[in-house]
Structure 1
């Protein structure tokens, strides 16, 4: 086994007594030596249960030490770790498990009663508390023969949280996860004294790989928060003296409205990161007002998820930019013919690097459609300004063509959300006999007296006439996907029903 493919063991040798993981609920703490030992014990259990290189081991759990146990055990014995989205329905989870065909399924005690049926998909392993690892059988021979592992061998399989079609299992190799972490450490200048709070669910690549694995590779500390509550998150950032953190825009939207945030002083925090979806500029303003460093990133399950870096000071000048490509990956922004776009021209974003996923599980056709040679075709639109800073314009499939003009929903969403009476916004294209598509805005508002006419007048202050929504749908709350993003498909489905 190459040394970089069991880097948790190497880290444990270098700094055995440094704190690696903290459970924010119980305040239990594990050193790097203890984390490595847990992984060895679990890997031994896997092997003694007949799990071989390439077999899948699935886990259904809130953010918990078991995620790292499973990941690092898989790293040691060659299994493929499959984190399961606990927000999925029984039908959706059954599809994922039927597709992944795990040999073993770990189920955290908080899901035992509601998910007993998971046992039909593989051997069941009960995750009862943080000490479950010590309840595993004691084997006479605790050392197993570690398999030969190639850099392209699968380490994890994360199912995408798309809003259309069936979930796809994105296979991440040992190389994918190692190089995302290494690229992040070097490009973002992460250090051994970093501490982060992981509140984003770890079944999501943002929870598992955006900061958790890079900070552990760098020798820092990861605090696991099992359920996100905005006030509690703020208090934990301060309690554990976190230096860097990632939340998705929905989380930030909730955080900035709390008294805890407004009153807090984050003495140790170097930078707040946003990812998972484009962040409203109103959130930037809240952090700027408090003098806090805030910046935005961009990634996908299939790519990293880290691809860009922007200095926090520059993010104040280039609000909304995800920055420039990191040290060990490349980007292209191309037209439909594959040629690169001009400065400030919108095109499709392509990515290249060792951090990319390898393929979609059992889906050669989707895999082939997702690559142009070594370049991963993201399906996202972006532009690059005259200084080389990249801005995400939205999904290619969400671009609206109305009366022959291209409209990018994100521009309209950002402007509407800057209105103090507006809470959240989703802009979509709706079929229209005259225009081909018409721009429609679904808006949740903070004040009941907001009218469509008022929103139109607000749009006229900045937007070209063809970009102004021809229809506004005012709502109490916008629906969300399983990973906390606004669910535009659900909005369109509801709109079609009510028409």
Structure 2
């Protein structure tokens, strides 16, 4: 294996006694030397179980150090790490296993019953989270591992169809880390508490890998609880954290958030979905630095940078492209969008994914001459700051007018009676589509007429929802995004 690809071994040489990983639940700590030893031992054990270069090794586990054990172990022997979303149904997990055909699957004791429910043709399992899978063994060096070889395969959420296996090479993960370190100014003094699911790119690649590359410390959190999160942030002197808007929504409402000053925190980051503007307000009121970013499994997931000061002035902006990636906005006619024009966001860089596993058609539809078609719509202001407008598939066309749900959702969320809001388009014979808003109220509700009057103060008449649907909660994906596919299914039943 080329020395620059096994950067964990190099980091262990440079920072052997520095704390790399802390388990928030058990309070166990592993240094970089210990983390590298675990990865080497795991790699040797995988070899003894017959794993060869190019083989897939799956994992079914909660947030746990075994994610790093297996990711780095696969890197050392040229295998492909496939973390599984344990929140999926048995049927959905089995579909993924049939697609990626792993030779082995690591199973944490918490998910033994889930593994047992899988069909008989499931891959052979080995236990993770116990000492025996990381016992010391002789690691046979594997030659011929290149930077373009696959290192990990992370499956998409599948909200628009079957999940796709996003193949990430050594190079894409490495360059996402380098780009994040340089663009965000990460140092070996940075500490994060990771509550993002580690089967998702946000849990592995957004902050964890860049901080480990730089020699900082990653605290592994499991179930997110606002009060416990505040305590952990302060206990470990956390400097930077990434949460999704749903988590921030719970955080800012907690008494612990209101009473804490967060003395060690440099920045709070939001990702995975557009962030309501009232969350910006909550952090500004406390004098805390807050900003949001944009990414996707196929690219990074880190792509933009904005300073905390600029984030307060340019609320809702994800900033400007990072050091080592390129961005263009493409209009429907193929031309590049001018300032304040909306276009599809295209991304290019060494952090880009390689291909979708067993899905050449989807790969060709997404990749064009190195550019990733994200399916997201965005605009750029005169100063070069980018704003995500919404998903291309979520854009509503009513009477020939284009409507971007995010604008309506932000305005509805500003109403003091509204907890959350989501906007979708529903089929309608005359107009093509009509705007419908799903509303979660707080302690009290208001009438549809009052909601329409409120919308008239900010929105053009064609943007005002024709239907307001009150619900107790909005359906969300495993990373906190509002599941609009399920909302449309709900609307049909109403």
Normalized against structure 2, the TM-score is what? 0.98
In structure 2, the residue corresponding to 1:473 is in which secondary structure?
A: strand
Cα drift, residue 351 of structure 1: 0.2
1: CA distance between counterparts of 2:215 and 2:146?
A: 24
Out of 324, 328, 332, the residue aligned to residue 336 of structure 1 is 332
2: CA distance between counterparts of 1:204 and 1:147?
A: 29
Cα drift, residue 159 of structure 1: 0.1
In structure 1, the residue corresponding to 2:99 is in which secondary structure?
A: helix
In structure 1, the residue corresponding to 2:253 is in which secondary structure?
A: coil
1: CA distance between counterparts of 2:249 and 2:158?
A: 22
Give the CA RMSD over aligned residues: 1.1
Out of 447, 468, 480, the residue aligned to residue 443 of structure 2 is 447
Alignment-derived partner of residue 58 in structure 1: 58
2: CA distance between counterparts of 1:351 and 1:189?
A: 22
2: CA distance between counterparts of 1:128 and 1:23?
A: 12
Alignment-derived partner of residue 6 in structure 1: 6
2: CA distance between counterparts of 1:420 and 1:45?
A: 57
Contact 2:293 2:318 (8 Å CA) reproduced: yes
Alignment-derived partner of residue 72 in structure 2: 72
Alignment-derived partner of residue 205 in structure 2: 209
Cα drift, residue 408 of structure 1: 0.3
Is 2:312 aligned against 1:316?
A: yes
1: CA distance between counterparts of 2:139 and 2:345?
A: 46
Contact 1:241 1:269 (8 Å CA) reproduced: yes
1: CA distance between counterparts of 2:141 and 2:122?
A: 27
1: CA distance between counterparts of 2:90 and 2:493?
A: 25
Alignment-derived partner of residue 370 in structure 2: 374
Cα drift, residue 120 of structure 1: 4.0
Alignment-derived partner of residue 385 in structure 1: 381
Out of 449, 453, 462, the residue aligned to residue 466 of structure 1 is 462
- Aligned 1:149-228 pairs, distance under 5 A: 149-228=145-224
Contact 1:38 1:133 (8 Å CA) reproduced: no
2: CA distance between counterparts of 1:165 and 1:407?
A: 24
In structure 2, the residue corresponding to 1:115 is in which secondary structure?
A: helix
Cα drift, residue 132 of structure 1: 4.8
Is 2:402 aligned against 1:406?
A: yes
1: CA distance between counterparts of 2:210 and 2:129?
A: 27
Is 2:390 aligned against 1:394?
A: yes
Q: Are residues 328 and 27 of structure 1, via their aligned partners in 2, closer, same or farther at CA, if it must alter by over 3 Å? A: same
2: CA distance between counterparts of 1:156 and 1:73?
A: 11
- Aligned 1:1-400 pairs, distance under 5 A: 1-118=1-118, 120-129=121-130, 131-134=131-134, 136=135, 139=137, 142-400=138-396
Moved more, 145-154 or 435-444: 145-154
Moved more, 229-238 or 22-31: 229-238
String of CA shifts for 1:61-96, please: whole Å, max 9, x gaps: 111000000000011000000000010000100001
2: CA distance between counterparts of 1:44 and 1:430?
A: 55
Out of 395, 414, 423, the residue aligned to residue 419 of structure 2 is 423
2: CA distance between counterparts of 1:133 and 1:21?
A: 18
1: CA distance between counterparts of 2:335 and 2:378?
A: 14
Contact 2:227 2:251 (8 Å CA) reproduced: yes
String of CA shifts for 1:317-347, please: whole Å, max 9, x gaps: 0000000000000000011122111110111
In structure 1, the residue corresponding to 2:319 is in which secondary structure?
A: strand
Alignment-derived partner of residue 490 in structure 1: 486
Structure 1 unmatched ranges of 5 or more: none
1: CA distance between counterparts of 2:16 and 2:293?
A: 32
2: CA distance between counterparts of 1:482 and 1:155?
A: 23
Moved more, 250-259 or 211-220: 250-259
In structure 2, the residue corresponding to 1:13 is in which secondary structure?
A: helix
String of CA shifts for 1:143-168, please: whole Å, max 9, x gaps: 31223211110000000013121100
Q: Are residues 401 and 471 of structure 1, via their aligned partners in 2, closer, same or farther at CA, if it must alter by over 3 Å? A: same
Cα drift, residue 223 of structure 1: 0.2
Contact 2:417 2:444 (8 Å CA) reproduced: no
String of CA shifts for 1:160-198, please: whole Å, max 9, x gaps: 013121100000000010000000000101001000011
Normalized against structure 1, the TM-score is what? 0.97
